[in-house]
């Protein structure tokens, strides 16, 4: 059962740059299976892992990890 959102933007970015799951797993110092589970949304990325990925690709956290069309006002509505 998937608890978290699949990281479609990360997967697309990784593939467009020619990076494999194994390469990014090595960057994060985790095994490939753990990275695959995080990318699929089965487990959550740690904040430090998200920062490492964002820096590696020269993107913001929002550009990679927020769902498409997500706004902070939508987030506030969900929290209320």
CATH number at residue 59: 1.10.260.40
Q: Is residue 55 part of a domain?
A: yes
Looking at the domain assignment, is residue 19 inside a domain?
yes
Phi-psi region of 41 (alpha: psi -120 to 50; beta: other; left: phi over 0): left
Question: Is residue 75 situated within a structural domain?
Answer: no
* Residue 69: pLDDT over 70: no
> What is the Cα–Cα distance from 28 to 73, expressed in whole angstroms?
31
Alpha-carbon distance of 21 to 75, in angstroms, equals 29
Domain that holds residue 51: 8-63
Number of domains, the chain: 1
Predicted TM-score (pTM) of this structure: 0.80
Q: Cα(33)–Cα(61) distance, rounded to whole angstroms? A: 22
Is residue 57 one of the residues assigned to a domain?
yes
pLDDT tens for 6-35 read 899 999 999 999 999 999 999 999 999 999
Is 80 a domain residue? Answer: no
């Amino acid at each position: 059962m998937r608890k978290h959102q699949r990281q479609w933007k990360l997967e697309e970015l990784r593939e467009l740059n020619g990076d494999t799951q194994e390469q990014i797993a090595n960057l994060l110092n985790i095994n490939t299976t753990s990275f695959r589970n995080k990318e699929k949304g089965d487990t959550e990325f740690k904040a430090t892992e998200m920062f490492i990925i964002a820096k590696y690709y020269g993107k913001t956290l929002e550009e990679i990890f927020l769902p498409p069309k997500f706004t902070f006002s939508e987030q506030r509505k969900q929290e209320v």
